[in-house]
Structure 1
């Protein structure tokens, strides 16, 4: 399979890219390899061509183009783009791919997809890690030298004009990957779908981190073996790979999102969170979360929710029908009752949804296909509801109702605490405002007190003195006879209240979500036990009483 990599460079030394293509470099440090006399060694086999430039004067010609268009003059501008097409190592033996043929394909690809740019195209036959895979380097100046015909992948009119920069949009990136696939398929080379997100995404940075880590580990283990000790670890594992292995282990048995988060924390000390439908994981040795998207599609919400549902369905299928009711009425775990503690309330939202009441669903009665679809969805939700009841240890339906009542009360208390903090913070902000107004005009008021003609001075500075007097009056009213607080004290109090407000808002949101989740569980349990009644019937019974 051929893959496409892209590197944007801000290095103003175009000659460095040319030296890398021609001379041997250490694959770990990327530094040139020198002989005994300190001279760089030429690569054993390489093929080099230039497009819209001479390959051996690429650096000078790029500098001329930049100067002509007055571009790439600042430090932060991207000076060049480096694309690498790496062919499958099997293509050399199975399909007779040679460096010369790969160079020809690379030239055609560069002319077609980077028109108007000065470009270096160089093919190497010495792949990383001794793989021997053939790969083509395409280095282009970020400034287009010539006008070209507009192409479908170009987003703006300027993308076809000279003097403008190479613009790699999402549509352009998809086009480039599609062209690599078409090129390999047309020439009978191995190829996979580059447009489908990888199940296990290994970035360039992670790849090299693993290689460097493994090299250091091997050196360390060799020293241990010399001392007669047996190494405990022989394979280096990146932080991302540690997360992948842990997620695969826990997801193989977890039946809900909440259980998944709990087991990750207990067994691997990994913190799990969901933000806007995106899964993120915090490695024990990190302070910044790693998203599931960075790990691969196997570690994102869509795949894992399907795994949880499948595990729950398998678990419920192994139990006899009577076990569902028994599990709801008798669970081994004690009911949770620690929500009133002073610690922050941590809540991981599950993916539970309401079970649809088919007897009162008009759409299901009108469409048999829709009814069948709802039945399958209901089975999954029932299985997840039973698993939820088991995990939280509700011993009876009364315990579940009590938990909902407590959650409602605690949600109300959290909302009131948040509102009180917000009101206090509003008052502090007003004090800061009037204290600033008071201090800004304090010196002027002192001059007014010392002036000989106070009436004239007051008339000349009426606005400032009025602001001073009103600010002083309001501050004294708020102080209620006490000493006026300093601006430093007020800002410190505001900082404290702001942090408290953030914590209280987070706790309130968590308790409110927990209350909503318990309502969903109670409704689903009523349907499972056959005690569910539509809202209209409940209102009728209330009026009858």
Structure 2
């Protein structure tokens, strides 16, 4: 998908933007990368053009225009606007997007939406932090150079006249995002709805905080490993991400709002506050709460209540059928299908999770080699786990290595089958949610669009209701493409299908988690048996006779 990012700059040095576009910079520090002689290093691949200016004299031309109109002379004035149009990394392979093509699209976009401005348009193909996604930088002087014909997205009469500054409003930003979506769909590039609030909202500030925090943690962990200590934490987590993960975990099992609040408070130390019908969350290390809107739409009150309601419905309708079978059913019973597999078929083997743990490899344990007391402690623990392992294989009737490997392979096959089934159900559910979103957006703005079609002065009406009309047209286009220009789906039918998919997802999650845990336990048994027998990969060796484990 293509996304649009905007940065307003008060930097009076227009040359800094030129240097950033042409030369290599460190993404985290924003400082130029110099060669061994202290010189700037050009980027390996970039495409640069200027609009209403020469790209290599952009800085001087902007300063001359500012001086002519006596604008952009104060420290607090916004001197330039930087727009970044980033394309989906998959567009390179799936749709043949190249740097040249992206540059042409960027030039077209800049000429259409920033008319009369001096602008630099530069395409980079390396992507942020070496990710490889193609993106276009558009840097414009905030002061317009030429008079232009008035456009629908211009809200003030002066927005089309030379000597006036670029004025980015909420409606203008909606228009710019709509133009991005229309351009990508026209060019058959990957695209999502940029006008819909993010389910998980991660700001640029949070992104950089997470990245810098991870770098510090990695450095700290490397020092600990060098000292022979195993780090406990390997992944850095911002306070907002901690809230998201905790809320996701709590709401997945809660059946009432009170239970949800209790889980967050007792398990994670998070307090919920409600003000004017909106949730905010107090992190245990903060004094000021963070609103659900800042975390994303999946953390606001309406969505959470909907999830809790679905949990109650699924719990009330769930029928638990005991299955006395002791053998794993034949693989043909799990033919590939998108519908959920019934419990009678899924849990045909009785599995109760044990407290079995892996035997520690003393030869490769640095701490055990350095500390004799710790080594003795590990040896005792290993003896206990070996005894538990022997008891486990006796209890479950595994009388040979081959029998254990056969059981493990069968369980692994079932785990893979249920994982695919879960992924398929989640994919179908995402599509239904998308259709529900656009159907609601379509119906909510249909009345405004009907008035627009009936109005005598459509230009004035579109100007007054540009956001509603843009939302309606986006939803209508999506739904027609989805339904193949046939009758649009009803809200009732979509909700019924979503309810069915939610039940299937819950069932698929239970099935997958069941066999995943079983597979992990059998893998622990296999590893411990390897340690007991002193064989690294017993299941890959040829046996002339069955090797007895007990």
1:6 matched to which residue of 2?
6
- Rounded to whole Å, the distance in 1 between the matches of 2:286 and 2:16 is 35
SS at match of 2:24: coil
Alignment of 1:149-160 (within 5 A): 149-160=149-160
CA deviations 1:21-52 (Å, max 9, x no partner) are 01100111111001112111111111111111
1:104 matched to which residue of 2?
104
Alignment of 1:387-536 (within 5 A): none
State the Cα distance separating 1:256 from its structure 2 match: 3.4
1:93 matched to which residue of 2?
93
State the Cα distance separating 1:172 from its structure 2 match: 1.0
- Rounded to whole Å, the distance in 1 between the matches of 2:87 and 2:318 is 48
1:296 matched to which residue of 2?
296
2:131 matched to which residue of 1?
131
Alignment of 1:193-208 (within 5 A): 193-208=193-208
Structure 2: tracts of 5 or more residues without a match: 320-550
- Rounded to whole Å, the distance in 2 between the matches of 1:79 and 1:257 is 49
State the Cα distance separating 1:318 from its structure 2 match: 6.6
Count of aligned pairs: 322
1:221 matched to which residue of 2?
221
State the Cα distance separating 1:64 from its structure 2 match: 1.6
- Rounded to whole Å, the distance in 2 between the matches of 1:226 and 1:275 is 50
- Rounded to whole Å, the distance in 1 between the matches of 2:216 and 2:164 is 45
State the Cα distance separating 1:274 from its structure 2 match: 1.4
SS at match of 1:210: helix
2:172 matched to which residue of 1?
172
2:161 matched to which residue of 1?
161
SS at match of 2:253: coil
- Rounded to whole Å, the distance in 1 between the matches of 2:94 and 2:256 is 46
SS at match of 1:56: coil
1:462 matched to which residue of 2?
none
State the Cα distance separating 1:257 from its structure 2 match: 3.2
1:146 matched to which residue of 2?
146
- Rounded to whole Å, the distance in 2 between the matches of 1:44 and 1:317 is 60
1:114 matched to which residue of 2?
114
State the Cα distance separating 1:5 from its structure 2 match: 0.6
- Rounded to whole Å, the distance in 2 between the matches of 1:278 and 1:74 is 40
- Rounded to whole Å, the distance in 1 between the matches of 2:48 and 2:238 is 36
CA deviations 1:383-427 (Å, max 9, x no partner) are xxxxxxxxxxxxxxxxxxxxxxxxxxxxxxxxxxxxxxxxxxxxx
State the Cα distance separating 1:129 from its structure 2 match: 2.9
State the Cα distance separating 1:315 from its structure 2 match: 4.7
State the Cα distance separating 1:83 from its structure 2 match: 0.5
- Rounded to whole Å, the distance in 1 between the matches of 2:259 and 2:37 is 63
1:504 matched to which residue of 2?
none
SS at match of 2:47: strand
1:51 matched to which residue of 2?
51
SS at match of 1:55: coil
- Rounded to whole Å, the distance in 2 between the matches of 1:302 and 1:153 is 33
State the Cα distance separating 1:240 from its structure 2 match: 1.1
Compared CA separation, residues 288 and 70, structure 1 to 2 (3 A) = farther
Say which is worse superposed, 255-264 or 86-95, in terms of deviation.
Answer: 255-264
SS at match of 1:92: helix
SS at match of 1:194: coil
TM-score, length of structure 1 as denominator length: 0.57
Alignment of 1:10-409 (within 5 A): 10-315=10-315
- Rounded to whole Å, the distance in 2 between the matches of 1:276 and 1:208 is 32
- Rounded to whole Å, the distance in 2 between the matches of 1:265 and 1:79 is 47
CA deviations 1:267-291 (Å, max 9, x no partner) are 1112221122222112222233222
SS at match of 1:68: helix
- Rounded to whole Å, the distance in 1 between the matches of 2:287 and 2:164 is 40
- Rounded to whole Å, the distance in 2 between the matches of 1:87 and 1:148 is 29
State the Cα distance separating 1:127 from its structure 2 match: 0.8
- Rounded to whole Å, the distance in 1 between the matches of 2:271 and 2:158 is 46
Compared CA separation, residues 216 and 109, structure 1 to 2 (3 A) = same
SS at match of 2:42: coil
CA deviations 1:449-487 (Å, max 9, x no partner) are xxxxxxxxxxxxxxxxxxxxxxxxxxxxxxxxxxxxxxx
2:371 matched to which residue of 1?
none
Aligned CA RMSD, in angstroms, stands at 2.1
- Rounded to whole Å, the distance in 2 between the matches of 1:282 and 1:161 is 49
- Rounded to whole Å, the distance in 2 between the matches of 1:293 and 1:138 is 29
State the Cα distance separating 1:262 from its structure 2 match: 3.1
